Amino acid sequence: MPKSIHSTQPPLKFISPRFNPLVLKIVSWFLPLILRVRTRPWLPAGIVKIEAKNAEILAKLYQEFQAGKVRFLIAFRHPEVEDPLSMLYLLSRIVPKVARAKGISLQYPVHSHFMYERGMTLWAGNWLGWLFSYVGGVPVRRGRRVDRNAIQMARDLFANAKMPIAIAPEGGTNGHSGIVSPLEPGVAQLSFWCVEDLQKANREETVFIIPIGIKYSYVNPPWSKIDWLLSKLEADSGLQVAEITQTGKQEEILYQRIFHIAGYLITEMEEFYRRFYHRDLPAITPEETDQPNDILITRLHRLMDTALQVCEQYFNVQPQGNFIDRCRRLEEAGWNYIYRDDITDINSLPPFKRGLADWVAEEADLKMQHMRIAESFVAVTANYIQEKPTAERFAETALLMFDMLSRIKESTLPGRPRLGLKQAMITVGEPISVSERWQLCQGNKQASRKGLSDLTNDLQVVLEELIKD
């Protein structure tokens, strides 16, 4: 995440893809090292092992793609920021290896264009935009009602490029390997458009969506590191650790601590919005049948709604859709205040107008922090840990709380603590034929809308199945 913004910024220009096979080859050479060290080269952390199930499905499809028989889109799960690296490893190493073992002939490169969120270059740096451009990336501004540059480029690449295209249909990370966030409709719409574009060009390729699940686990459960992280959260929160009963199994104790920290943070944030933003957040009186977890989640969702309302009222944005939809629109509204398309040359502004522009940008950046806090918890559920009290789920929940505290107490968001060595399991699902579905829903707009909705819902179900143990 970038440092706090104190001045207006130039507009976020579209970064056109300029695929360069040499750059891809160099990145692929260094990929195992990048996966291992990433942002913390001095810590024993990173991804040290990646395996795949059903990779021969992709190998066969790449062969048919290169023969001009099919077009396909890779729809992959997006739980963590490491996912693009995991996908690159799948395509550059695992799929070619499986193809050789199965006698499937493939041409280099086995790669894909991909869409990435334009804001990534804001916290990572402009170098990332350059790199993504040369390895086939297409930037998209998620909150825009229509990002024409991104849509037109993705549509053209899907139908005409020498490589398929990959998209995360969730639109962003949710920090949960075991939960798929609601899918955005863009994957289904692009797929239908591809069929239409091929039909208009009198081309006979069949269009598919290839669902891919990604799930991470620790090589060795980092219970001691989780304990350390919870102690840090307790200390940063000002909690009296002695209040927690240190009896029972390890998982029970850790869960009790997480529950205690979460309850404390929610209480403090409720009081923050009551006192300084004059919000009416009455105490919730539980029914006899209410479970403590459900009450906590009810309070969390009310708190998220309150934070988003504060942000929406400032930017004059109507609250529509689920939490994710609201966060996307607020992000775009904030960027419009900071990255000014309406200012031709910032440096040519007279001091008075420049001061006003800087004031607007700084205040917008502060207001967006309300949205960022809500954004961190969009996938949190009442029983995520209790359903499967694994080290991974404890770690994911604790790290989300770490993100929240970091946003509040730091001007920048520090890198997450790396709790241990991780491994990834990538599962390739059965191809979904879009061409067949497109044929069935032709005739009127209602049928087309239903077809898009059904395809999105079916893809959601498939992705959820792919990450089940």
pLDDT tens per residue across all 469 residues of the chain: 455 788 899 988 899 999 999 999 999 999 988 887 754 433 445 888 999 999 999 999 999 999 999 999 999 999 988 899 999 999 999 999 999 999 999 999 999 999 999 888 887 788 889 999 999 999 998 876 678 899 999 999 999 999 999 999 998 888 899 999 999 999 999 999 999 999 999 999 999 999 999 999 999 999 999 999 999 999 999 887 644 555 558 889 999 999 999 999 999 999 999 999 999 998 887 776 678 888 999 999 999 999 999 999 999 999 998 999 999 999 999 999 999 988 988 999 999 999 999 999 999 999 999 999 998 888 888 789 989 999 999 999 999 999 889 888 875 555 778 899 999 999 999 999 999 998 877 767 787 888 899 999 999 999 999 998 7
The parent domain of residue 368 ranges over 223-409
pTM score > 0.85 for this model? Answer: yes
Q: End of a domain among 384, 409, 434?
A: 409
Q: For the stretch 345-382, what's the b/e string if a residue is b when 16 or more beta carbons lie within 10 angstroms of its beta carbon?
A: ebeebeeeebeebbeebbebbebbebbbbbbbbbbbeb
Residue 1 within any structural domain of the chain: no
**Could you tell me if 239 and 356 lie in one domain?**
yes
Domain total of the chain: 2
Query: Which of the listed residues 360, 380, 409 is the one where a domain comes to its end?
Result: 409
Query: Is there a single domain that holds both residue 289 and residue 308?
Result: yes
Q: Classify residue 351: in a domain, yes or no.
A: yes
Whether 176 and 116 map to the same domain: the answer is yes
Q: 258 with 380, same domain?
A: yes
**6 domain-assigned:** no
Residues 161 and 234 in one domain: no
Whether 12 maps to a domain, the answer reads no
What CATH number is attached to the domain comprising 95? 3.40.1130.10
Q: Which residues touch 211 (CB under 8 Å, ≥6 apart)?
A: 75, 76, 428, 429, 430, 432, 459, 462, 463, 466
Task: Tell me: do 215 and 246 sit in the same domain.
Answer: no
Q: Are residues 130 and 117 in the same domain?
A: yes
Kindly state whether residues 385 and 452 are assigned to the same domain: no
For 349, the token pair is 């502004």
Q: Domain check: are 171 and 280 in the same one?
A: no
Distances (CA, A) of 432 to 160, 168, 257, 405, 442: 20, 16, 44, 41, 18
Q: Would residue 54 count as lying in a domain?
A: yes
Q: Does residue 283 share a domain with residue 248?
A: yes
Q: Are 124 and 206 part of one and the same domain?
A: yes
Alpha-carbon distance of 372 to 410, in angstroms, equals: 13
Task: Please measure the distance between the N-terminal and C-terminal CA atoms of the chain and give it in whole angstroms.
Answer: 33
